[in-house]
Structure 1
Amino acid sequence: MTRPLVLGLTGSVGMGKSTVAQMFREEGVPVFDADAVVHRFQGPGGALVAAIETAFPGSTGREGVDRASLRDRVLMDDAARRTLEAIVHPAVGAERQLFLLEHGGCPLVVFDIPLLFETKGDALVDRVLVVSAPPEVQRRRVLARPGMTPEAFARILALQLPDADKRARADHVIDTGVPLAETRAAVQKLIRTLHPG
């Protein structure tokens, strides 16, 4: 049985990964969005809310997990982060397998996984695409996010493989520090490369 070519999409915080993922969708390529799955599991009535509340008392409420509060608790605490990952990663992995079964007849699918290299997710994919932008563009994008501080940005960066290392390990790199039309053209060219015809 043939299966789709699996393209892993990743990039450091603020590099435009979500924008590029949407471009793949608009070209008809199914995209598994790991972050969206986590949001669903942590939202109101989400499958992981109870387990997260047990591990991190006071981190949830009627709206599900208070993501900003939980982020602050785990960013500075490696043991807490590992505890959270042990709850979240297996659940996301199960959803990813269901997605692959659902789209088994497609020639190409994308796994949008923010920490692809950091979680050894590159072993799950056939090719890796890294989205990248100049550091000043990245910083401006991230600090424009609600509730983001320079300190939190620095801590997030410290937990991620440096952009240069990601680019060195990638099969493909797309620049998002250029006009959107150029990025879209690069996405379209990559799709043609991976799935000629």
Structure 2
Amino acid sequence: MLMVGLTGGIGAGKSAVARRLARNGAVIIDADVLAREVVAPGTDGLAEVVAAFGPGVLTAGGELDRPALGARVFGDDDARRTLEKILHPRIRARTAELAAAAPGEAVVVNDVPLLVETGLAPSYHLVIVVEADRAQRIRRLIETRGMTAEQAEARIAAQAGDADRRRAADVLLVNDGSLDELNERVDRLFKTRLKPYEENLRLRVSARPDRRLHIAEPDPTWPDQAGRLIARIRHALPGRPAVSHIGSTAVPGLPAKDIIDLMLAVRTLDEADALADRLGGAGFPRRPGEWVDNARGLPGQTWPKRLHGGTDPGRTVNLHVRVTGSPGWRFALLMRDHLRTVPEARDGYAEAKVRWSAEHQDRYAYADAKEPWFDEEARAADDWAEATGWCPSD
């Protein structure tokens, strides 16, 4: 099943998005609901909260007095951490139970207000962030929750900032218009991305890239996108493996096909094969039949590797799995670092990309046209590495 994290600052409209996703058929797991459930009267969660904070956090009827508890922990980091140690393991366990009970073809959406603050983003296949203008959020909190402007400002300030949430977002829904406009965007997202993503994930097939060639202008968000993908891969695999952002999107200022290339380093190709199932479950299934780097070896040589793709139709990914120290592993890191460090090499490559893309409208013909340049770049990069003492690292 597809696991989606949904978050947003208080007053941004996250609950409205959750309701619309449910209308589309998603299974919603609301962390706020679970946070109440695990401290309901008679639970060991409530007993532990009372032991930590005293009977003053109970109502006369024996229920948790949430405003009283909120007043105790708001602005007190130690008290907040104590409460989180009580609540979070119980919420995670209940979340896992509900997810396991969902249908196998479900899109499961975890509505988590503090997803970014708690570092949970890598545990989801995709993260949706709902964002709204600060003034609108304050107005909504005053109108719908009875807060004063000062209280609303304080609650907003206590959460992650917009910039932090954007870095975690695979999908950013800006909710500054009408509810109908928001619902339309959610419907389109579910139909064109979430459902195809779920099907690809279930069948363990990569999203099909567009065969047509398009060279995009440099995108400053490519490194953040790569960082999110790398975090997911590391979360899915044991031992925090070395995963690198490589290829043209890893070189600032370089035009590129809008494809994120990553490289997972392994000790052996047998290890690569043993990790294939975990990678498939994380959204990076193996592509059958693509096993070698066909260029840049000596005549008659190939550089073995494993190649995986991505199941997300909204983000094309190539995951190259190579043995640490192998020629292909070294070349990928060397070319990236050479182009990052030597502007003349980067600019020459950019100019050549424009020429090749004008001559070839097909991605595969374009790739073939680049081979002579790669041979020359390999020699120049090796000379640079020897002159500078470069060694592969990431």
Given the two structures, how large is their TM-score scaled by the length of structure 1? 0.91
Provide, for residues 13-55 of structure 1, a one-character-per-residue CA deviation record: whole Å limited to 9, x for no partner.
1111111111111111101100011122234444422111111
Looking at CA atoms only, which structure, 1 or 2, has the larger radius of gyration? 2
Aligned to 1:8: 5
1:45-64 alignment, distance < 5 Å: 45-57=42-54, 58-61=56-59, 62-64=61-63
| Cα contact 1:75–1:155 (8 A) shared by 2 | no
* Percent of aligned positions that are identical: 37
Deviations 1:47-97 (A, max 9, x none): 422111111111013251111111111012110000000000000000111
2:79, 2:50 → 1: CA distance? 13
Provide the rounded CA distance (Å) in 1 between the counterparts of 2:114 and 2:89.
14
Task: Quote how far apart the aligned CAs of 1:107 are.
Answer: 3.7
Alignment partners' CA distance in 1, 2:136 and 2:62: 33
- Deviation of the 1:150 alpha carbon: 3.6
1:146 to 1:107, Cα distance in 2 relative to 1, 3 A = closer
Q: State the AA in 2 paired with 1:23.
A: R
How much is the aligned-residue C-alpha RMSD, in angstroms?
Answer: 1.8
Distance in 2 (alpha carbons) for counterparts of 1:168 and 1:123: 12
After superposition, the C-alpha distances for 1:97-145 in whole angstroms (9 at most, x for unaligned) are 1011111512411010000010011122111100111111101111234
Instruction: Look up the equivalent residue of 1:65 and give its one-letter code.
Output: L
Match of 1:67 in 2: 66
Amino acid at match of 2:190: I
Deviates more, 1:63-72 or 1:43-52: 43-52
Matched, 1:136 2:128: no
Question: 1:40 and 2:37 equivalent?
Answer: yes
Mapped partners of 1:80, 1:100: distance in 2 = 30
Number of aligned residue pairs: give it: 194
Question: Greater shift after overlay, 140-149 or 105-114?
Answer: 140-149
Q: SS of 1:42's equivalent?
A: coil
Whether contact under 8 Å (2:5, 2:126) holds in the other structure is yes
Displacement after TM superposition at 1:175 (Å): 2.1
Partner of 1:84: 83
For residue 32 of structure 1, give the secondary structure of its aligned residue in structure 2: strand
Task: In structure 2, give the amino acid aligned to 1:125.
Answer: Y
User: What are the residue-to-residue correspondences of 1:137-152 with 2, within 5 Å?
Assistant: 137-146=136-145, 148-152=147-151
What CA distance in whole angstroms lies between the structure 2 residues aligned with 1:109 and 1:76? Answer: 33
Contact 1:34/1:111, CA 8 A, preserved across alignment: yes
2:53 aligned partner, one-letter code: F
Structure 1 runs (4+) deviating above 6 angstroms are: none
In structure 2, stretches of 5+ residues that fail to align are 200-394
Structure showing greater relative contact order (alpha-carbon pairs closer than 8 Å, 6 or more residues apart): 1
- 1:30/1:110 contact within 8 Å kept: yes
Task: Give the aligned partner of residue 118 of structure 1.
Answer: 117
